[in-house]
Structure 1
């Protein structure tokens, strides 16, 4: 994108002044470009340090029976308000989640890939993995994804059943959509991947607050009943 100031658009300004402004603007943009490249180099180094730890977490979740629903719980708690008819089935068969990142400072390009892993027997689709990729090249965002293969066995079993509406899935729509706007939801998944325990702890804190409210409410009820008993004794 050119940042040159076009003289014809600013006729009242002298041409020599515009040239000076353009020269200053070029230097400013050069600093921005250099800073972006440095940031990408740092991001790449940071990602290299994180990668082995993410791998250990992935392997632990994959090999431990008690953790096979870990990501199902995290995603459900974070996004259940957006769930549609098939999303509970989606997370039920979700076994693991992975995120890979690569950065090219010279091309000003970053590529991040979310990979959803699934258990066997999934009635929605036959894929064992689904990928969602976000590519950012000098600020231009592009979304790509895996092709979803629907489970025809389920479709054949249900072909004679009348449904009021077709099954829908917020999560599958996210994976299939290639609209740039989906990048915001992609970022949410990345944050969940980086720190899933924040999601879980926030939910637990909410449950504790609900419990406190219930105790307080019950206490008020008990107090009201006590007052009613005293009034009855006075009447006698």
Structure 2
């Protein structure tokens, strides 16, 4: 079982509400790329459909999978309300069996970082490579592990406020470095309503630098790759918050 599955199974019915406070501006970016694809598109880690359902609305021929059956149940319920027909299934990117050959695979919202070992990172990239047609692309994003942010915010609770059904919820994240040699962080997330904790969970992410991504692409057989500093195709430079990778088979 993937180590993040328990968190997302627990979080599924609150995930969309939580996302209101975590918008990173990536939806139109991924929809535009998918609309330009010459063949089917696969989203690895499609969750509750934040991006996947937008692909269907845009007429993209898209499949998706996620480690959490509970997240997929939310996606399918939302799709049914709109008369959409999703093609999604429960799976793990480190061992999934592709339903067909894809022109594009996307991994939005830093989902790749939930693979916290070299073995799982390599396995995921090799599986995705095998799922792509010749000349196909992988596009993913991950946050830049900036030392100033790590020093200033890790170990300190970060709080945001969101609403659902006219009720206000306070979401608190406490991020700490759990394993310094392996560069793995642990995020403890809680949700409060009127001072009472109504949801809590823990997940872990790997801090992966630009050079480490490039080594991963090299050892898993990709032909070339380009890294951008955000969803506007800006160059990656000091001060960039997001690494956006376009990787060619």
- TM-score bin (small chain): under 0.3
Q: Which has the higher helix share?
A: 1
TM score, norm. by length of structure 1:
0.25
Greater relative contact order: 1 or 2 (C-alpha under 8 angstroms, separation 6 or more)? 2
Larger radius of gyration: 1
TM score, norm. by length of structure 2:
0.24
Q: Which has the higher strand share?
A: 2
